[in-house]
Chains A and B, each alone.
Chain A
């Protein structure tokens, strides 16, 4: 079928072009169906255990995703009339935030105190314009001694304040609206900050919280789409122009690339995919991979034309020589990407499937549309002129052949060190660190960490299993002990526990006697305090975020430093163990976006290792078939695996942290680097079959594909290198590591593989004949 396609495209080029353009237009129309999701939940399956735990907890209590505004006054003291006025005004205005359900700040903190037999419940700052120095001192005293405020809504030194806007974001069947909601909330809060920045130019404002983390995902993805894709286009045009030295051939390649991307995205739209922070890079990847197909074909055609053939003859020969390798390399690349289906991260699965689709489209187009276009374009070449001195790859080949006995032990040493180093990498995800220091979000979270608290959260739901169970003195005592234990942990910045409310109310009910700042000793008392307290709170500031419907469970909310996933999950386990040991009657669950991210890296890594193994087996089998030789198929394992070992080894020296974006690099890069092996080994086997000895065959392989290999490696390295410019670490790390592996693959194919063949493939003349190409 392949053959008929390609031949048809040469016989009736215009018809081929028109038919393809019609098909492509039909496919591309689906792009209108694409929508964008910039939220963090795209990284988690609907049934991800941590996501389920978190969403169940949110259903039991209330949603507590927040958008935070941090306010830094010029005087390093928020307790001034001017700054308190600002916080008060801004808190009031923040209620207008779309999707908001509550707004917490020091000014609207519900201050309770006793006045004889009265319980007074009022905003801590009610009329900021009426505050005199004494009143400000009192506000300061109350705020800095209230556990629910200190280190959360005000720093312990009183130099920074925060307004926390809790939002009720769409989920479940409305999850596709989440991206738009995130934008709406973020834009509102940013506009609010801008308004107040103008009114109070000496104050500084920072935005953090889960909503802004979402927003940052969105901004970075859009930024990548806006800057990286065009950057990639530019890089490819320059490279192609330099290498092919033909404007028309470059244009033909560009057309193949553009139509490939258009049909890939279009089909994605028809199939109901959406764009996300991960899939936004599908165009860049597809572009990179499509270029390689085109380069091989065009380079061959130009080669045969320089040899003196007519364009038509050259084109036919180029197709004949490249059809099988292009198909095989596309298939292996697609398999590599398809194994991303093993990933636990839905958008990485999407990335794999869409890229695999794009690669196969590129394969089809470069074997039909491209030849048809080359056929009708008036491409001419000057007859060979540069052949006088051989290409540098050929000379490198001779150098390797001459010194292979010394190179081999050195190679083995390097490989050994690399494999050892690659094992030193650790799986670690720090969501706030996904964003580099250039981003506003990172600057804000860094400011928050430095002056107030981390941005990570971990919520614990403690279930008593009986109605009104949390009012029981034993339960309260254990919840209090858990809160104290949490507070004493080095990772913890802040703990919200209902026991603080009980203690405060008990004191208030006893004339504010500090001796009563302790838990009520009877269930009835606790229950009645809570009833009284609930009735005196204003809209939005209720305790439903801490106590569930039938008061059988309470949620303890912890703010932590921005830790790596290992420390984070270790802390989580420690806390769960504490409850199991010290409060065996209570069932406990933990959850938060931070918890979700902390687990996903490791889970995903485990799944991807399985996926990579499968990819390796499938690809090796494909190579055995393609090379028609078990022996070469086995040998190919080395050049296929070593580049990743070298790449990850270098990565260990460079960073050593494997985030969830990197966990897919292994199987993804495997499919790509196989291409080099296929090209090199197929030429090598071809020569051997012609009766050449190993050294001659290696030389032949260098001569025939050396140039094409380094050109495609250059293109791939530039392609993934462009990705590494992203300020979003999941993308930039993936780009950088894959680019590194591409370079390593070339080094392995040019140095290690030949020396290995020369040492181990000389004993017998290879009998296995190569598939006719």
Chain B
């Protein structure tokens, strides 16, 4: 199934389908889900690299809050997961700590961390990426790049969310170390941007809901939400992630994402 056909679908869906396919029903929910995922990935291809400042506001069920700040550099990697470098600025006692991650769709990520207080780079050998990121409601796996191979898909239905027509697609993680049994994503049919993702825990109960706000388009092509909120349905805690000053194609290369670059990152 080719992605471009999906683009047309939203315009000429009934006519095209009846013309092109002799048996419309042959496209299973799984095939359709996969097609949507591929199109989503295809539309975001070629962004190159980005840099952004991020704030995370952590809130308890009772409204107490605390803020974390970091800078994030990302490098697009074709045929593999992306590379990411996170430099922590706040709280003060972790300032300068830098975290490098090479994500891989099916194998454990490669991860290194530079601890300025120890003046050492440590490689983290762990299959886990489902724990809370800096005590927030985000797990590292929620923030790593979207790769088609990470999930098995099932198209569920179309639904209107905030006036936009969305595909509702179920994602089942392939990695057995994922913290989730499944996710359900609402992807808009116009631009294939996720607006809402429900995360279900291992016993199949709704655990968290991620909602994206204020999508902004960069380079006339790439959409990024300026604000995202993860709400934990089971504990009532939430984390708001705010993106400031995102810039694209800043000239980063592989050499900015290696062990040596960690110590330099300030």
Contact = CB atoms under 8 A, between A and B. Distances in A.
Interface stretch (B4-12, B31-39, B119-127, B209-217): B119-127
Contacts of A544: 132, 135
Contacts of A540: 179
A468 interface: yes
A247 interface: no
Q: Among A98, A528, A542, which residue has the most Cβ atoms of chain B within 10 A?
A: A528
Interface in A169-217: none
Interface in A322-345: none
A97 interface: yes
B93 A523 contact: yes
Nearest to A60: B60
Given A100-B203, A550-B66, A532 B88 contact: no
A120 B115 contact: no
Interface string A470-486: 01000000000000000
Nearest to B95: A524
Contacts of A547: 135
A56 to B, nearest CB: 9
B117 interface: yes
Interface string B132-144: 1111000110000
A17 interface: no
Interface stretch (A37-45, A111-119, A616-624, A739-747): A111-119
A98 B203 CA distance: 7
Contacts of B145: none
A48 to B, nearest CB: 19
A119 B128 contact: no
A171 to B, nearest CB: 11
Given A95-B202, A524-B94, A525-B118, A549 B61 contact: no
Q: Among A119, A509, A535, which residue has the most Cβ atoms of chain B within 10 A?
A: A535
Contacts, number: 140
Contacts of A526: 93
B92 to A, nearest CB: 7
Interface in B154-189: 177, 179-180
A163 B97 CA distance: 36
Interface in B45-100: 58-62, 64-66, 88, 91-94, 97, 99
A199 B106 CA distance: 33
B25 interface: no
Given A98-B203, A534-B135, A551-B135, A527 B94 contact: yes
Given A534-B132, A549-B64, A528 B93 contact: yes
B3 interface: no
A467 interface: yes
Contacts of A258: none
A543 to B, nearest CB: 8
Contacts of A550: 58, 64, 66, 91
Given A122-B127, A168-B235, A532-B115, A467 B66 contact: yes
Contacts of A535: 99, 111, 113, 124, 131, 133-134, 140
A130 interface: no
A59 B60 contact: yes
B136 to A, nearest CB: 9
Interface string A58-96: 011011000000000000000000000000000000011
A536 B116 contact: no
Contact of B125 (A110, A119, A532): A119
A429 B65 CA distance: 39
Nearest to B97: A528
A467 B117 contact: no
B203 A96 contact: yes
A468 B115 contact: no
A286 to B, nearest CB: 41
A539 B93 CA distance: 25
Interface residues of B, number: 48
A523 B116 CA distance: 12
Given A97-B203, A468-B91, A549-B64, A536 B117 contact: no
B123 A538 contact: no
A95 B130 CA distance: 15
Contacts of B117: 522, 524-525, 527-528
Contacts of B62: 59
B18 interface: no
Interface in A516-574: 522-529, 531-532, 534-542, 544, 547, 549-551
A50 interface: no
A101 B113 contact: no
A121 interface: yes
Contacts of A532: 97, 113, 115, 122, 124
Contacts of B235: 62-63, 101, 168
Interface in B197-243: 201-203, 205, 234-235, 237
A509 B88 contact: no
A528 B116 contact: yes
A92 to B, nearest CB: 9
B93 A527 contact: yes
A761 B226 CA distance: 92
B91 A527 contact: yes
Contacts of B127: 122, 538
B126 A122 contact: yes
Contacts of B237: 549
B123 A118 contact: yes
Contacts of B177: 538
Contacts of A523: 93
B88 to A, nearest CB: 7
Contacts of A62: 235
A404 to B, nearest CB: 69
A542 B237 CA distance: 15
A247 B59 CA distance: 70
A285 to B, nearest CB: 40
Interface in A349-378: none
Contacts of B65: 549
Nearest to A547: B135
B137 to A, nearest CB: 10
Contacts of B132: 534, 537, 542, 544
Given A538-B131, A549-B60, 4 more contacts: A468-B93, A532-B122, A535-B99, A550-B58
7 contacts: A95-B203, A509-B122, A522-B117, A531-B94, A531-B113, A540-B179, A544-B135
Nearest 4 pairs of A and B residues by beta carbon: A539-B179, A539-B130, A527-B93, A550-B66
